[in-house]
C-alpha cells in the first residue's frame, strides 16, 4: 500500500487516560530521530518526511539528524539530545525512528528519564530501536510501538495496525500470521533470501496466556542482558525476531535467554521472522532455526508460536511493546487488553 494513498476515517475525541501516550490525529506534529545509524542522505530524509506527511502528520526533524560520527548519526550526546528534545517539546505527539543499525543502547544513560516519564509519547521503530523499547518498558511506564522504521515501507498491514493502535485507540485482536502472497520483502536493506524462521505461522504450543508484551530484536536484546536496562519478565509475553544471523548464533542467544532464567519466567513466546538466518552452506547438516525454536520453547510448556509477521520484512505487524495482551497461540492471535493511547 503506497504511503500516498493511506485511507483514514474521521476520528472522535476521547479522554486521555493516565500514563498513556496521546493518540495520533490528522495534523499532529511527530518527531523524526536517528538514535543509531545515519540515513543515506538528504534524499532519504525528504522521502521519510513525505511518507509521514502522507499519514496526515506533520514531521519535525531532530536537530542532529544530518550529523555523522563514524557509523553513527552523530555523537551519543547529539542523538540523545534529539530524543530528550522531542519528549520536552509539547507540540510533538509521537516519535518515529528513521532507521536502525547500531547505537541506541549507547544512549540509555544519557536520556532524561524524568522528562520522558512525565511526557508519555509513542516511540515507533524496530531493529536497533529494541534497546529503547526495552529501556522504556523498564523506566518510562508507558507503551511503545515495535513497527517499521520511518524509512521502511508502510504497506497495508503495517499501516492498518498502526492506525488501529495509535490513531483510533482500539484494543484490537491482531492476527500474527504473515501474508501468504506475495512474500514480504526484507527491510533495512536486506535482499530477498531464505527465512530461517519459516514463512508461515506455526504453533509450537497451543493455549492462551496474558501478560505484558516485551521484546524485539534478539541480538540487541542479548546485548542488554546483565545491565539495568531490561524490564521484569515475570509473567510477560516475550516477542523476538532476527536478521542475518547464522543458526549457531541464534542457538547461542536463545541459550543465553534460557541460562539467564528469562525463558523460565515468561508466560508466552512469539517468535517472528528470522530473515536470512540460514547459513546456506551446501551439505549443511546442522540445526535449522525452526528446530532451535522448538528445542528451546516447546519444553517450557507455555503458549508459543514461530513465524509471526514481525521482524525485518515488509508489511509487518505493529506490536504494542509494554502493553497488556492476551496471546492465543492456537489461533495465532494477539489481543490487547486495553488501548495503548488515550
Asked whether 65 and 45 are in contact (CB, 8 A), the reply is: yes
312 labelled catalytic: yes
User: Which residue in the list 64, 133, 146, 312 is annotated as catalytic?
Assistant: 312
What is the rounded distance in angstroms from the CA atom of residue 193 to the CA atom of residue 280? 10
What is the rounded distance in angstroms from the CA atom of residue 293 to the CA atom of residue 298? 8
Cell 486495553 appears where? 338
Q: In what order do the strands lie in the sheet with 144-146?
A: 58-61, 29-33, 92-97, 122-125, 144-146, 319-321
- Reference 239, options 206, 263, 214; nearest CA is 214
Q: Residues 83, 125, 113, CA angle at the centre, nearest 5°?
A: 35
46 labelled catalytic: no
Asked whether 166 and 24 are in contact (CB, 8 A), the reply is: yes
321 labelled catalytic: no
Q: All 3 cell numbers of residue 193?
A: 533470501
User: How many Å separate Cα 309 from the centre of its chain?
Assistant: 11
User: Which residue in the list 34, 187, 188, 241 is annotated as catalytic?
Assistant: 241
Residues annotated as part of the active site: 127, 241, 312
Amino acid at each position: 500500500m503506497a504511503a500516498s494513498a493511506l485511507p483514514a476515517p474521521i476520528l472522535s475525541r476521547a479522554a486521555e487516560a493516565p500514563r498513556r501516550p496521546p493518540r495520533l490525529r490528522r495534523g499532529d506534529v511527530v518527531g523524526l530521530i536517528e538514535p543509531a545509524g545515519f540515513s543515506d542522505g538528504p534524499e532519504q530524509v525528504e522521502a521519510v518526511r513525505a511518507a509521514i506527511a502522507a499519514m496526515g502528520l506533520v514531521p519535525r526533524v531532530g536537530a542532529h539528524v544530518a550529523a555523522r560520527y563514524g557509523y553513527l548519526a552523530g555523537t551519543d550526546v547529539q542523538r540523545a539530545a534529539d530524543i530528550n528534545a522531542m519528549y520536552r517539546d509539547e507540540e510533538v505527539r509521537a516519535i518515529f525512528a528513521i532507521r536502525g543499525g547500531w547505537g541506541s543502547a549507547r544512549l540509555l544513560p544519557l536520556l532524561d528519564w524524568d522528562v520522558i516519564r512525565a511526557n508519555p509519547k509513542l516511540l515507533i521503530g524496530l531493529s536497533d530501536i529494541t534497546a529503547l523499547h526495552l529501556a522504556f518498558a523498564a523506566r518510562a511506564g508507558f507503551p511503545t510501538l515495535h513497527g517499521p522504521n520511518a524509512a521502511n515501507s508502510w504497506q497495508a498491514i503495517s499501516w492498518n495496525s498502526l492506525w488501529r493502535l495509535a490513531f483510533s485507540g482500539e484494543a484490537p485482536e491482531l492476527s500474527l500470521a504473515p501474508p501468504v502472497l506475495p512474500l514480504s520483502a526484507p527491510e533495512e536493506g536486506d535482499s530477498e533470501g531464505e527465512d530461517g524462521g519459516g514463512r508461515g505461522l506455526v504453533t509450537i504450543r497451543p493455549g492462551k496466556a496474558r501478560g505484558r508484551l516485551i521484546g524485539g530484536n534478539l541480538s540487541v536484546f542479548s546485548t542488554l542482558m546483565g545491565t539495568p536496562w531490561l524490564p521484569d519478565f515475570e509473567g510477560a509475553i516475550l516477542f523476538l525476531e532476527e536478521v542475518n544471523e547464522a543458526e549457531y548464533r541464534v542457538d547461542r542467544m536463545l541459550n543465553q535467554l534460557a541460562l539467564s532464567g528469562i525463558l523460565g519466567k515468561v508466560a508466552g513466546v512469539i517468535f517472528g521472522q528470522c530473515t536470512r538466518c540460514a547459513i546456506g552452506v551446501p551439505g549443511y547438516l546442522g540445526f535449522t532455526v525452526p528446530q532451535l525454536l522448538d528445542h528451546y520453547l516447546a519444553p517450557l510448556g507455555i503458549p508459543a508460536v514461530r513465524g509471526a509477521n514481525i521482524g525485518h520484512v515488509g508489511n509487518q505487524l505493529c506490536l504494542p511493546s509494554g502493553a497488556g495482551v492476551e496471546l492465543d497461540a492456537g489461533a495465532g492471535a494477539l489481543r490487547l487488553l486495553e488501548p495503548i493511547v488515550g
